[in-house]
Amino acid sequence: MKTSARLYKSVNTIWDSYYRHPFIKGMADGSLKVDKFKFYMIQDYIYLLDYVKIYALGIVKAKDERTMQGFSKMVDNILNGEMDIHRSYMRRLGITRKDIENTEASMENISYTNYMLSVSQLGDLTNLTASLLACMWSYFLIGSKLSKIKGAVENNFYGQWIRGYSSKDYERETKWLIDLIDRLTVNISENKFKELEKIFINTSKYESMFWDMAYNKGM
């Protein structure tokens, strides 16, 4: 069994809970209050600014040109692709760059990004890749799940988020990351797998905390 499949199996219960989360269900049926989504958008934008730094660190830690090119493309995809979804919503919500600069990251946000940066800096490229995987992969699965719910994609407000995270481009980027972890871990030892599994479980739990934080507006 590939490493990615084993990792997914270890968090299956956690990830299933995402689909039942009131924030995600609210986007699906359009009932999520806009003020909660606005809070989330700002916090997620702040999060992505640290998340993309880990991809940049991947360029430094990579040992071959192919992998360096892949991480370089992902940095561009996030800064000029995924974050465009956020910038579009910010225009719709009247969020300015100054608003973002004057907003402090929530404790959940700080804890999550500091954890990823720590394991990425202290560990090898497999640790770094494992730390990135839960966010990207779970968002694609959430987007894909919501895209199949009648009326969700067509929603005038939340449909844009769903379309972005279920898009072919985002699917391709997610597949690149999944394929990378599998390529890096051929013939992995059981001890090393347990190390990556712990990172993957922890980041999956942080994803749950992030959704809670967004729904409760950090309270």
Q: What is the CATH number of the domain that holds 111?
A: 1.20.910.10
Q: Give me the pLDDT at residue 73, please.
A: 97
- As to burial, measured by CB atoms within 10 angstroms (0-12 exposed, 13-18 middle, 19+ buried), residue 206 is buried
Residue 207 is a catalytic residue: yes
Cα separation of the two ends of the chain:
41
Q: State how far the alpha carbon of 193 is from the alpha carbons of 42, 123, 196, in Å.
A: 34, 13, 5
Q: What is the pLDDT of residue 218?
A: 76
Domain extent, residue 131, equals 3-215
Per the CB < 8 A criterion, the answer to whether 161 and 212 are in contact is no
| Residue of 186, 167, 134, 138 whose CA lies nearest to 2 | 186
Q: Give me the number of domains the chain comprises.
A: 1
Catalytic residue among 82, 135, 173, 195: 135
Q: Are 130 and 196 in contact, with CB atoms under 8 Å apart? A: yes
Residue 174 burial by Cβ neighbours in a 10 Å radius (0-12, 13-18, 19+): buried
Active site residue 190: no
Kindly name the residue from 82, 108, 173, 207 that is annotated as catalytic: 207
* pLDDT-above-70 percentage for the chain: 100
Q: Mapping DSSP to helix (H, G, I), strand (E, B) and coil, where does residue 186 land?
A: coil
Q: Could you list the mean pLDDT of each consecutive 10-residue stretch along the chain, which spans 219 residues?
A: 97 97 97 97 96 98 97 95 89 93 96 98 98 98 97 96 96 97 97 98 98 91
Rounded distance between C-alpha atoms, residue 22 and residue 162, angstroms: 15
Which DSSP letter does residue 78 get?
I
Residue 167: burial class (beta carbons within 10 Å; 0-12, 13-18, 19+): middle
pLDDT for 79-107, tens place per residue?
998 888 899 999 999 999 999 999 999 99
pLDDT given at position 205:
98
Give the span between the Cα atoms of 155 and 112, in whole angstroms: 30
Name the nearest CA neighbour of 169 among 78, 49, 91.
78
Rounded Cα distance, 133 and 207, in Å: 11
